[in-house]
Structure 1
Amino acid sequence: MLSPDDYRRASEGRYSSHNGSTAIAPVPGRPAPSNVTDGRFFGDDTWTTLGAALPVEANTAETAARVAAVYFCVSIIAEAVGSLSLEFKDDNGPRNDFPLADVLAYEPNHLQTGAEFWAAMAFAAVLRGEAFAEPVAGFDGLEIWALNPLRVVSEWGERSMTVNYASEQGRRRLLPQQLFWFTGIADGGLRPLVPWKQAKGSIDFQLALEVGVRSFFRNDRRPSGIVTTEQKLTDESAARLKEGVERWKRGGTPVFEQGVKYDAIASKNTDAQVVELIKQRTLEMARYWRIPRSMIGDDDGNAGNNEQDTRSFVNWALRPLTRRIEQAITVRMLPPDLRAAGVRAKFNLDSMLRGDSATQWKNAVLARTASILSTNELRTGWFGLARIEEPWADDPRTALNSNRAADTLTGGGTAPQDKVE
């Protein structure tokens, strides 16, 4: 019995066996048989190239990000970080009276806004485990430029770190004091764990699944029937049969001869469990990045309690990352005098935790009643309304039963209806 390799050598005009090498003239017009275990059909040379054009293994972060579930999990965290407002506070309240505050919050460089910059940095950190930026002196003052992750090679040693950066001007070696950076979780050493590498097995499975599903659903690339005959086909009959099959694949009607019969092969999508596999792998990716099930569209997720899922997303996916960024800004960007004055960077997560409109209004009343927030803080911070330029509107301890609006209208006097005889 000939092996698949023997068949290939025979198709090239030579067959080698234990009796010696024998020259065999290939039959003109007949397709060369191929190994049936390598995913190809007889004569279908393009079958193997179908999967070769698509990656089936995640060897780089870019390949991993091509998986829809990975991109969704990473991008939703990055976009959420970019949407948060960056604030600076000390023990007495907000501190935005220094130029660096506007640079970090609104315009890190002349090509990016604060939302774009922090979303890009968060995307790199969530996918690769680390993100680097370089502060430079520009024409308008300090600028911060994110380093291209494709050109960064970080070297983490024992109590040391350097970055080799292949810029367009050449390779540079950057020290920690020249950079701004933050990382993800690390093990006992300094080197952070790379999230996409930790999930590589699941990502490879997802890539293979996507390649298989694409091939499965291509009508001209999956067998939906076989043709059989008990008669011996001549070269002319084989050529006409091949032409008829090609016509059938393009939507035409073939005419079979010499007793050729067509038997359909049916395969239901439910039998292949393609949908179940895709759901399972998507849920697996969500576990790696701690995304709630309802946010990835899972049918079994807690879709009825969106507020609770949002809180879980903020607590376990956003808060750990924003805490790292806040401390990195405070330690690696703020001047020593501001740090000595107690100035700290803080992302405002309150906007994501207020719930729906009814809950938001209820919480606002509770915050004002408990003298936690003033009227102006609620108006400007929660509802985007204009300030009330009165001293009582800035004092959270102002009594709620005093008719301050009437006092303002009457020039500071007590309203007639509030006077006590």
Structure 2
Amino acid sequence: MKIPIISKIFRSRADPKNSMWQSAYQFFFGPTSSGKMVNEKTAMQTTTVYACVRILSETIASLPLHTYKRTDRGKEKALDHPIYYLLHDEPNPEMTSFVFRETLIGHLLLWGNAYAQIIRDGRGKVMALYPLMPDKMTVHRSEAGELYYIYNKEGQEHILRNWEVLHIPGLGFDGLVGYSPIAMAKNAIGMAIATEEYGANFFNNGANPGGVLEHPGILKDPERVRKSWNSVYGGSGNAHKVAVLEEGMSFKPIGIPPEQAQFLQTRKFQLNEIARIFRIPPHMIGDLEKSSFSNIEQQSLEFVKYTLSPWLSRWEMAMKKALLSPSEKKDYFIKLNVEGLLRGDYKSRMEGYATGIQNGFLSPNDVRELEDLNTIEHGDVYAVNGNMLKLEDIGAYAKKESDTDKEGGEK
């Protein structure tokens, strides 16, 4: 099929509305084995899902994002490149870089895809980036093999070419479109919703399961008795009130007590189950049962290495692919810096800096920049301890001394 003419509305921006539309993953979302409806909105009402999405979104959004240029000595910040300011400060006049990245990573975690429209001038220079709602976007391929995107805005379809879209796909079947973690794990999330609803109803019923009011005779109006009982003893605010029964009536509770149904254990298991989906250490969402002062630091380092690093690589490569021209890709690259998350305590940092300065791979100004301090004059000197010798020099010196000893002995 031929790609239709692009609508004029996309020459400026898409102006998407945050509303539900037919999702490409509709067959994944829906009822679960627990009977609860799971989609990206109901999932976010679960505290564990909300906490996991918030942790990843805010963490990635807060990392320094720089565009670099390769040099003979390594790299330097490409402050004059057009996309440096867009990515580091303001992708568009309405958003900061933090809000833009937080929004897109939220989309990526809930829908499995993140989209942003790329606004370019007549020369192809990137002028702005605007987030697009993933549930309104579909990806297609033309007969010529070119990918293009159809965005549905208020029932009207608009076509975007591949160079007009920054697309960050998650794990997917075909490598082009990711699938939603929420949809793939809907049964686990549905069970968490069901247990939370059960707990709310349990306390709404006065922290007592349902029961039977027994009357020795025949009641003429059982509905009135039921309403009267619920109005006085229903709700958590009426728990533990003393019941007054007339006419020989008695109350017999029925149902399974929460401790027998392992209600609390089930809720706790679902917490870890959802954290496992997003690969979040339990201590970061408030579960400190198996955490201690000695292992939390290690878990935090593993969070950076095994959880954040794949997401950051996905982001960096997608931005380089979409925002840099073919000629720029060999000289420029985009990097999210995680050094701040890997910093140890003050004592450990100072000991590490001292080792670096003494061995010549750090200068005082390097250390001051790492600590967010102003540089000082003559602080770019790299020095080593004077009593250090190269191994080859040590060998030559030893050989010379040995020869001298032999000559002395012969005499």
Task: Report the TM range for the smaller structure's normalisation.
Answer: 0.7 to 0.9
Q: 2:320 aligns with which of 330, 343, 365?
A: 330
The alpha-carbon deviation at position 131 of structure 1 amounts to: 0.5
Secondary structure, aligned partner of 1:393: coil
**Aligned runs of 1:392-407 on 2, under 5 Å?**
392-395=378-381, 397-399=382-384
Deviations 1:231-287 (A, max 9, x none): 22334xx46634642453265877544322234669754333222111100100111
Q: 1:278 aligns with which of 250, 267, 289?
A: 267
Secondary structure, aligned partner of 2:91: coil
Is the Cα contact below 8 Å between 2:115 and 2:165 reproduced in 1?
Answer: yes
Corresponding residue of 1:105? 88
Question: Is 1:352 paired with 2:341?
Answer: yes
Corresponding residue of 2:138? 153
Q: 1:118 aligns with which of 96, 101, 104?
A: 101
Q: 1:143 aligns with which of 105, 125, 128?
A: 128
Is the Cα contact below 8 Å between 1:156 and 1:190 reproduced in 2?
Answer: no
Secondary structure, aligned partner of 2:259: helix
5+ long unaligned stretches in structure 1: 1-54, 402-421
Deviations 1:127-174 (A, max 9, x none): 221111112148x97111111234223347996543221235942121
2:60 maps to a residue whose letter is V
**Aligned runs of 1:204-223 on 2, under 5 Å?**
204-219=190-205, 223=209
1:311 maps to a residue whose letter is L
Q: TM-score, normalised by structure 2?
A: 0.73
The alpha-carbon deviation at position 338 of structure 1 amounts to: 3.0
* Percent identity for Structure 1 against Structure 2: 26
Secondary structure, aligned partner of 2:83: helix
The alpha-carbon deviation at position 120 of structure 1 amounts to: 1.3
Corresponding residue of 1:84? 63
**Aligned runs of 1:5-404 on 2, under 5 Å?**
57-89=36-68, 90-91=70-71, 92-95=74-77, 96-137=79-120, 142-155=127-140, 161-167=147-153, 170-187=156-173, 189-219=175-205, 223=209, 225-235=211-221, 238=222, 241-242=225-226, 244-249=228-233, 256-263=245-252, 269-304=258-293, 305-340=295-330, 342-380=331-369, 382-388=370-376, 390=377, 392-395=378-381, 397-399=382-384
Residues 303-312 or 252-261, more deviating: 252-261
Aligned CA distance change for structure 1 residues 278 and 239 (closer, same or farther; 3 Å): closer
Q: Which has the higher contact order (CA 8 A, sep 6+)?
A: 2
The alpha-carbon deviation at position 333 of structure 1 amounts to: 0.6
The alpha-carbon deviation at position 189 of structure 1 amounts to: 4.9
The alpha-carbon deviation at position 336 of structure 1 amounts to: 3.6
Deviations 1:286-324 (A, max 9, x none): 111111122223244333222211111111111001111
Is the Cα contact below 8 Å between 1:64 and 1:196 reproduced in 2?
Answer: yes
Is the Cα contact below 8 Å between 2:83 and 2:126 reproduced in 1?
Answer: no
Aligned CA distance change for structure 1 residues 367 and 129 (closer, same or farther; 3 Å): farther
Aligned CA distance change for structure 1 residues 113 and 214 (closer, same or farther; 3 Å): same
Cα separation, 1, equivalents of 2:91 and 2:134: 18
Cα separation, 1, equivalents of 2:321 and 2:310: 17
5+ long unaligned stretches in structure 2: 1-33, 387-411
2:88 maps to a residue whose letter is A
Aligned CA distance change for structure 1 residues 267 and 199 (closer, same or farther; 3 Å): closer
1:338 maps to a residue whose letter is E
Cα separation, 1, equivalents of 2:93 and 2:273: 39
Deviations 1:337-369 (A, max 9, x none): 4323x2211111110011222222223223333
Is the Cα contact below 8 Å between 1:226 and 1:262 reproduced in 2?
Answer: yes
2:130 maps to a residue whose letter is W
1:80 maps to a residue whose letter is T
Aligned CA distance change for structure 1 residues 115 and 368 (closer, same or farther; 3 Å): farther
Is the Cα contact below 8 Å between 2:82 and 2:126 reproduced in 1?
Answer: no
Is the Cα contact below 8 Å between 2:118 and 2:126 reproduced in 1?
Answer: no
Q: TM-score, normalised by structure 1?
A: 0.72
Deviations 1:54-91 (A, max 9, x none): x9534422222222111211221111100100122324
Secondary structure, aligned partner of 1:146: strand
Secondary structure, aligned partner of 1:312: helix
1:146 maps to a residue whose letter is P
Residues 239-248 or 80-89, more deviating: 239-248
Aligned CA distance change for structure 1 residues 241 and 179 (closer, same or farther; 3 Å): closer
Residues 349-358 or 161-170, more deviating: 161-170
Cα separation, 1, equivalents of 2:130 and 2:91: 7
The alpha-carbon deviation at position 200 of structure 1 amounts to: 1.2
2:200 maps to a residue whose letter is R
Aligned CA distance change for structure 1 residues 132 and 264 (closer, same or farther; 3 Å): closer
1:280 maps to a residue whose letter is F
Cα separation, 2, equivalents of 1:333 and 1:269: 55
Secondary structure, aligned partner of 2:118: strand
Cα separation, 1, equivalents of 2:177 and 2:105: 18
Deviations 1:184-243 (A, max 9, x none): 2223553323211221111111111122121112125954653212222334xx466346
